[in-house]
Chains A and B, each alone.
Chain A
């Protein structure tokens, strides 16, 4: 109730976790990913929830199914995930930044400076 941004559905978190595994090359094109039962066991969640996470990725063409064999990574998976994260996650984060800046009355110039500093910090890591 205090934090309205918390409590995202588990199946979305599962989908994002697999996406990150693909981005990190832990799963490459045509690799078989974890089954709903393996995911259920790994995260102690209901297998139906895990299946829903896999289905979301299948609908987005990140995974494809082979009947009876499981789910595999598509050739375009990495490109789709990168594109999606740019458009949804990054833009969403930036909107929040813009909103918070407005609340704190941080001007465009100051905000740009802060962003550049953040970019430099990340490069330094």
Chain B
């Protein structure tokens, strides 16, 4: 069954399209990474999927229904970010009780065990939690709700290294026991890439790449070689990324099936995989050159 379907989904924001005819489909119980730079449209997309915001045009369906102000979607989908708002009058304990009342699959035992493990106090108020503690508490809500569609938007904001590790492990263990569709957004792909089955890379409101993690790892190859030999080889070919290293060397990333690779190997150049995080950076790089150009 299709969990998410977007076709030509557009969201008009002040002066620009935050989502610009974005299309993709998500099926089955997978953990998917939503990757993109700041302002690429990750949050906008997830808020539309959660039914918080309505689309400007195009088609968007969650569990085959339009999500905006849809009760079925709001009960079966959860969107977690570091700005989740709860009533000022409720204590943490009250919030968990209310969440249990709202979400049909809520796991009280899991919620309480995580709550104790991360040393929360039942009478604390959400507003007074530190940034990292807020993220940790919100993560508990996100996991214990067991929603068929669970979305985490930059879930590890403010968490310290050990809590981040615990979060990823808790997420995986709960997913293994209760498979469901999980969408994780982050710009730190490297810290969660092992958890993901596939990624959706978005840039300027469009899907650039929707691939399985394994394919992404083999999508491109990096070549390092002497500039005067490598650069002519790259001249007429599709190059994902190219940079000078020092005065004489060039590093280039090309697709794994590019004819350049064979030629480079014949010249004795070193080739190797391109880490997924680097690849995503290369694929979404602005055409204005790099940070170095600012200082020229």
Contacting residue for B273 out of A4, A11, A49, CB 8 A = A4
Alpha-carbon distance between A99 and B270 when the two chains are bound, in angstroms: 11
A23 interfacial contact with B, CB 8 Å: no
Q: How far is the CA of A10 from the CA of B192 in the complex (A)?
A: 13
A7 to B271, CA, bound (A): 12
- Would you give the shortest CB distance from B81 to chain A, in whole angstroms? 23
- Size bracket, chain B contacts: 20 to 34
Can you name 6 extra interface pairs (CB under 8 A) apart from A44-B195, A47-B176?
Answer: A1-B274, A4-B271, A7-B274, A7-B275, A44-B194, A46-B31
Task: List, sorted by A's number, 22 A–B pairs whose CB atoms are closer than 8 Å.
Answer: A1-B251, A1-B275, A4-B224, A4-B271, A5-B272, A7-B273, A8-B273, A9-B217, A9-B273, A11-B214, A37-B176, A41-B173, A41-B176, A44-B168, A45-B195, A46-B31, A46-B172, A46-B195, A47-B176, A49-B214, A52-B214, A99-B268
Q: Which residue of A lies closest to B224 (CB)?
A: A4
Given A45-B195, A48-B30: A3 touches B172 (CB 8 Å cut-off)? no
One digit per residue, 1 when the CB lies within 8 angstroms of any chain A CB and 0 when it does not, for chain B 234-277 equals: 00000000000000000100000000000000001011111100
Kindly list chain A residues whose C-beta atoms are within 8 Å of the C-beta of B271: 4
Residue of A nearest to B275 (CB): A7
In the assembled complex, the CB of B178 is this many whole angstroms from the nearest CB of chain A, namely: 12
| Interface, chain A (partner B; CB < 8 A) | 1, 3-11, 37, 40-41, 43-49, 52, 99
Chain B positions within 8 Å of A5 at CB level: 272
Complex interface bits, B176-213 against A, C-beta within 8 A gives 1, otherwise 0:
10000000000000000011110000000000000011
A contact residues around B168 at 8 Å (CB): 44
Closest B residue to A11 by CB, please name it.
B214
Judge whether A4 and B272 touch: CB under 8 Å.
yes
Interface presence of B112 (CB below 8 A): no
Per DSSP, are chain B's interface residues mostly helix, strand or loop, or mixed?
A: mixed
> What's the nearest-Cβ distance from chain A to residue B176, in Å?
5
Q: Is the CB of B272 within 8 A of A46?
A: no
User: Which residues in B have their C-beta under 8 angstroms from that of A8?
Assistant: 273
Determine whether the beta carbon of B272 is less than 8 Å from that of A40: no
The closest CB in chain B to the CB of A48 belongs to B197
Distance in Å: Cβ of B60 to nearest Cβ of chain A: 26
Q: Which residues of B contact A7 (CB under 8 A)?
A: 217, 272-275
Chain A residues with CB under 8 Å of B268's CB are 99
The answer to whether A44 touches B169, judged by C-beta atoms less than 8 angstroms apart, is yes
Cα(A26)–Cα(B270), bound, Å: 36
Q: Which residues of B contact A11 (CB under 8 A)?
A: 214
- The interface residues of chain A lying within 8 Å CB-to-CB of B213 are 46, 49
Closest to B223 in A: A4
Taken together as a complex, chains A and B put the C-alpha atoms of A11 and B203 apart, in Å, by 28
* Alpha-carbon distance between A8 and B276 when the two chains are bound, in angstroms: 11
Cα A51 to Cα B270 with chains together (Å) = 31
How many angstroms between the C-alpha atoms of A4 and B168 in the bound complex? 27
The 8 closest A-B pairs by CB, nearest first: A4-B272, A48-B197, A45-B194, A9-B217, A7-B273, A46-B197, A7-B275, A4-B270
Chain A CB within 8 A of B67 CB? no
Q: Which of B91-142 contact A (CB under 8 A)?
A: none
The closest CB in chain A to the CB of B169 belongs to A44
Is B218 an interface residue, CB under 8 A from the partner? yes
Residues of B within 8 A of A43 (CB): 194
Q: Is the CB of A4 within 8 A of B222?
A: yes
